[in-house]
Every structure is written in structure tokens, then in C-alpha cells.
Amino acid sequence: MAAGPVGGGSGGAQTAWVLNLLTDLAFNLLIFFVVCASTAEDEKGRPQQMPSASKEKAAEQKNTNIEVAIGRTDVKVNGEDVPPAQVKAKLATLLAGKTRPEDKIVVVKSAKDAPYSHWIKVTGAIEQAGGAITLQLEEEQEVVR
């Protein structure tokens, strides 16, 4: 199957004319954009200070958050074993002086073998004490050699 002119006649001249027109158009557009881009002055805009994600600030934030680790039968608040019945009282004392919602964040780490009913009781105690629950699903560790 050869692609040829449709309808016979001088179709080859018509195809060449269209190709020349498209080539000239593309070349003119290319020149236009090159000229416009080269004469455009750099706009400074308004100076802004962008927040930086530093490891020190992240470490400070991590240290300020309360961590609750839920095991199969035990609960640890900031690494200290707390009987499940006393979790609410312990968290209430830790959250007592905090007024902003972002200061009341409680990071919850749950063991894989922790029963759902135990998890529900502990997270309910966190909410009753006034904490905002966040789940830690993955943990990044930096290897220092």
C-alpha cells in the first residue's frame, strides 16, 4: 500500500506545499519563542523565607511527643511500663500543661500480636486523657558507620 495523492491529479505538489507550510510555521514559532525567552528579564518577586526541614527540629518534635507502645498485654508510656488501668491517669498528668492541639500528639506504636480489644481500650484512654492519636506505621533509622 503506497500513500499517494487522493483523487489523482497533481497531488504530489499539494503534499509538498503543505509540508513546506508546516515546516515554515514550526520554524517561525521556534524563533518567536527563542526571542521572547531571551529578552525576558528575570523577575525577582517578593522575598520569602521557606521553612527548612532540619533533622534537629524533627528530633526536637519527636522528643516532645508522648509515645505509647502497646504490647500483647502491656502498655509503655515513653518507655515506662504502665498498668493498662492507669494509662489514662498517666497521660492526663503528661498532657496537663499543654494547651495547643499540636502539643497533645500521642504517637501510638502497636505490636503485631496486640489484640484489637487491648488496642481499643488504650486508644480510648488516650482520647479521654485529651491526647490526639497518631499512628507510627513505619520507622526510619539512619545507619551510622
pLDDT per residue as tens digits for the range 57-111: 555 555 578 899 999 889 999 888 999 888 999 888 888 888 888 888 888 888 8
What is the pLDDT, as a whole number, of residue 34? 84
Higher per-residue pLDDT: 41 or 12: 12
What is the pLDDT, as a whole number, of residue 1? 46
- The average pLDDT across 45-53 equals 59
Helix/strand/coil for 46:
coil
d(CA 131, CA 72): 22
d(CA 135, CA 137): 6
CB neighbour list of residue 79: distance below 8 Å, 6 or more residues apart? 67, 69
- CB burial class (10 A; 0-12, 13-18, 19+) of residue 132? middle
Domain 66-135 has CATH 3.30.460.10: no
Higher per-residue pLDDT: 75 or 43: 75
pLDDT at 36 over 80: no
Predicted model pTM: 0.51
Helix/strand/coil for 110:
strand
Pairing of strands 105-110, 66-70: parallel
